[in-house]
Amino acid sequence: MATMELTKPQKVADAIKPPVTSIGIIGWMRVNLFDGWFNSILSLIVLYLLSMTLPSFIKWAFINSSWFTTSDQCKAGSGACWSVITANIRFITFGFYPHQLQWRPLLAMIILVLLLFFSQNRKHWRKSLAYAWLLGLFSMGLLLKGGLGLEVVDSDNWGGLPLTLLLSVFGLTAAYPIGVMLALGRQSRMPIIKSFSVVYIELIRGVPLISMLFMSSVVFPLFLPEGVTLNKILRAQVAIILFTAAYIAEVVRGGLQGMNKGQYEAAESLGLNYFQAMRLIILPQALKIVIPPSMGILISAFKDTSLVVIIALYDLLKTTQTTLSDPKWMGFSAEAYFFVALVYFVCCYAMSNYSRRLEKELDTGH
Amino acid sequence: MNPQKAGQQNVDTMPIITIENMHKWYGEFHVLKDVNLTVSKGERIVICGPSGSGKSTLIRCINRLEEHQRGRIVVDGIELTNDLKNIEKIRTEVGMVFQHFNLFPHLTILENLTLGPIWVRKTPKKEAEQIAMYYLEKVRIAEQAKKFPGQLSGGQQQRVAIARSLCMKPNVMLFDEPTSALDPEMVKEVLDVMISLAQEGMTMLVVSHEMGFAKSVAHRVLFMDSGEILEENSPEEFFHHPQHERTKLFLSQILD
């Protein structure tokens, strides 16, 4: 890059160098920080605030902090007590999963991350990847639950990061296709399908997720015949899927409405039937338009999985809170929440980064 | 009739499109009033008329992009009814070229052309690509096969759109103002493609105000106004001896 910039002007005979004030650090500052009096004042104010807060934060978080100490040593120190994380990392990550078996959810998470990592590249979207996912899902389920010679772990003991990932990854991947179908249903000319979609979407959107989780855990079992129980995690999972799908549906509908009518007509006039036209022509374009808002919904749904605490599921946030209720580690909530926020941020940032990349890759210049 | 006119010998008397007493309403608005039209195989018809006269609607009824409410439309022996199977069958026999090209922007030029043959005609991919390249050569744009529509000029896009229709090997081609969204310098390249298509004896219905094109290839010119076919004649008669007052007015407006 740097050499290109150097050689390019030389091609143009007698290229004049741009003035110092428009390149380099000075140029960057002029454009980005001191562009006009209003922006200059804002920049100065921000710089002042940063100078007031940043040094003390760095002192607290890094210089005076303790990383691998006991709680008593922490209380003696003046900085951040990251020991609350390091000392309890296994409980925060895995909850009440049996201690000696925690390699199993760890391995399951590694498999999941690897699969997600491979799936992000569109070149890998082949049949073999689908088989890899099937195999991965099976082994993840086996690792978490046990069986086939592995000790069985009841799902009541599942918790922490594996639970958060389970609820969000499968919640989101299942919600998206359902949402797309609902969006198509809402546009359908068939009255039954149309009104079902409309009622479903409006009903779900009119209810907070918390109440749906409550219903799934408290009300729904009342309707089941005696003796039949449905796994609590599964019920929460279904509630999250149904909830997210309604929001996805409305976003996708926006994309469908943004489509040029000519695209439908061109597809029809080639003799494509409805499903072919949707799958090959309309959805690829409409879904591309709605990548940014869809990702917004997926990100907020990911964060909303933390609401499952109210039905006593121990997701990442709940295990962290439980750690803090230990008298030894009380009072270090800032550090603990900082850590959880960081984990959530890393996941959300990866998602939004991916959406930006997809947008760029799918851009065909129209 | 003019014996030099290209492809004229191909006209036979077998009707490929028959429209009888056809009416269409948009809500209360009567767009097409008692339209009767018979098109023979190999015949080329240019339809002109002021905007809003129903000429686009008429040809859009032929492949059921618009639904007619009364009368009969029979295409290639199949009557257009609400039967989806018949509609899809007719659409594979009737190619359509739109004013705004309506290429699929997310697919390459080649994919735009192979889509119909692969999914509707169930042609194997290799063969569909050969067909596509054949027609791309024909519209002189084969070198752009790997590009996306957004990277082509309007004239090139319209030629691709014509090739896309031809890949389905249609018996009839409908053109809905194919050159009116183009910059002036690109009109000719599209008309040239249409003329060479005419020379091969394709049955064509063209909604257009390109009078030069009408004179050189059309067997018949129809003049429509407020939903009716007012006048129908050979191009020579139509342009030199228009019968109807409104035709005269229209011609004086577009030819001045």
The answer to whether position A330 is within a domain reads: yes
Reported as type and span, the H/E element at residue B25 is strand B15-26
Asked if A219 is an interface residue toward chain B (Cβ–Cβ < 8 A), one would say no
Amino acid A342: pLDDT: 93
Same domain? For A202 and A293 the reply is yes
| A19 CB within 8 Å of a chain B CB | no
Q: Which two tokens stand for residue B16?
A: 């490929």
Phi and psi angles of residue A157, each rounded to the nearest 5 degrees, phi first = -90, 0
CA distance B211 to chain A (A): 26
Q: What is the CATH number of the domain that holds A208?
A: 1.10.3720.10
Q: Assess whether A258 and A116 both reside in one domain.
A: no
Instruction: Say whether residue A268 is in contact with chain B using an 8 A CB cutoff.
Output: yes
Contact of A308 with A167, CB cutoff 8 Å: yes
> Above 80 in pLDDT, residue A10?
no
Give the residue from A301, A299, A307, A304 showing the smallest Cα distance to A349: A299
Could you tell me which chain A residue has the CA closest to the CA of B109? A364
**Structure tokens that stand for A26 in this block:** 């000075």
pLDDT at A13: 54
Residues A187 and A103 in one domain: no
B106: nearest CB among A260, A269, A285: A285
Question: Between B98, B103, B120, which is nearest A271 by CB?
Answer: B120
Co-location of A195 and A279 in the same domain: yes
| Cβ contact, residue pair A272, B151, below 8 Å | no
Per the domain annotation, does A173 fall within a domain?
Answer: yes
Contacts of A273 in chain B (CB under 8 A): 84, 88
Tens of pLDDT along A20-35?
767 778 888 888 888 8
Question: Taking the model in full, what pTM does it have?
Answer: 0.81
Q: Which of A75-89, A226-240, A298-312, B170-184 has the highest mean pLDDT?
A: B170-184
Q: Per-residue pLDDT averaged across B71-78, rounded?
A: 91
- Residue A38 placed within a domain: no
Query: Helices marked H in A206-332 — which ranges?
Result: 209-214, 220-223, 232-257, 261-269, 274-276, 283-289, 291-304, 316-324
- State how far residue A265 is from chain B, nearest Cα, in angstroms: 7
Task: Indicate whether A136 and A162 sit together in one domain.
Answer: no
Alpha carbon distance, N-terminus to C-terminus of chain B? 26
Q: Judge: A362–B106 Cβ closer than 8 Å, yes or no.
A: yes
A176 pLDDT above the threshold of 60: yes
pLDDT of A1 over the 60 cut = no
Of A152, A175, A190, at which residue does a domain stop? A152
Enumerate residues 64 to 103 of chain B having a beta carbon within 8 A of any beta carbon in chain A.
65, 84, 88-89, 91-92, 94-96, 98, 100, 102-103
A46 assigned to some structural domain: no
Q: Model ipTM? A: 0.89
Domain that holds residue A113: 98-152
| A109 and A257 assigned to the same domain | no
Whether residues A148 and A160 fall in one domain: no
pLDDT mean over A315-334 = 86
Residues forming a β-bridge with A147: A150
Q: What is the pLDDT of residue B7?
A: 44
Q: What is the pLDDT of residues B92-124, one digit of tens each?
A: 999 999 999 999 999 999 999 999 999 999 999
Which residues in chain B have Cβ-Cβ distances shorter than 8 Å to A255? none
B100/A270 Cβ within 8 A: no
Nearest CB to A272 within list B119, B148, B151: B119
Option in A265, A266, A270 nearest B168 (CB)? A270
Q: What is the mean pLDDT of residues A228-241?
A: 84
Structure-model confidence comparison of residues A114 and B3, the more confident one: A114
| Interchain proximity A365–B151, CB inside 8 Å | yes
Angle between helices A191-205 and A232-257 (to 10 degrees): 120
Helix (H) or strand (E) holding B156: helix B154-166
Q: Is A358 on the interface with B (CB under 8 A)?
A: no
To test the contact with chain B by mutation, choose from A269, A275, A291 the residue with the greatest count of B C-beta atoms within 10 A, namely A269
Per-residue confidence (pLDDT) for residue B136, from 0 to 100: 95
Task: Read off the tokens for B13.
Answer: 């008397």
Q: Which of A189, A259, A265, A270 to mutate to test the interface with B (most CBs of B within 10 A)?
A: A270
- A141 and A196 within one domain: no
Distance CA B140, CA B109 (A): 13
Q: Given A265, A273, A288, which is nearest B98 (Cβ)?
A: A265
- How many domains are contained in chain A? 2
User: CB B104 to CB A266 under 8 A?
Assistant: yes
Q: Looking at the domain assignment, is residue A19 inside a domain?
A: no
**Is the residue at A44 inside a domain?**
no
In a domain, A47, yes or no: no
Q: Do A366 and B105 touch (CB under 8 A)?
A: yes
* Same domain flag for A323 and A303: yes
Contact: A366, B164; criterion CB under 8 Å? no
User: For chain A, what is the mean pLDDT?
Assistant: 86
- Round the average pLDDT of chain B to a whole number and report it: 90
- Nearest Cα neighbor of B230 from B26, B48, B56 is B48
> Measuring CA to CA, which residue among A83, A102, A114, A112 is closest to residue A339?
A83
**One domain, residues A142 and A234:** no
Which residue among B106, B116, B151 sits closest to A271, beta carbon to beta carbon? B116
CA-nearest residue to B166 within chain A is: A270
Closest CA to B33 of B7, B13, B61, B10: B61
Which residues in chain B have their CB less than 8 angstroms from residue A259's CB? none
> Within a domain: residue A339?
yes
Other CB atoms within 10 Å distance of the CB of residue A310: 15
Q: Which residues of B touch A122 (CB under 8 A)?
A: none
CB atoms B102 and A263 under 8 Å: yes
When pLDDT is averaged across residues B190-217 and rounded to a whole number, the result is 92
- Tell me: do A145 and A163 sit in the same domain: no
The pLDDT score that the predictor gives to residue A123 is: 83
Q: Tell which of A134, A152, A170 closes a domain.
A: A152
Token pair for B154: 């309007």
Interface test with A, best of B62, B89, B103, B106 (most A CBs within 10 A): B106
- Nearest-CA distance B248 → chain A (Å): 33
Interface size between A and B, measured as CB pairs under 8 A: 72
Q: Is the pLDDT of residue B4 over 50?
A: no
Q: Cβ of B120 and A362 within 8 Å?
A: no
Same domain, residue pair A340 and A218 = yes
State CA A124 to chain mean position distance.
21
Mean pLDDT score, A299-320: 88
For A36, phi then psi, to 5°, come to: 95, 160
Strand partners, B44: B204
Q: Looking at residue B11, what is its pLDDT?
A: 52
Residue of A nearest to B85 (CA): A273
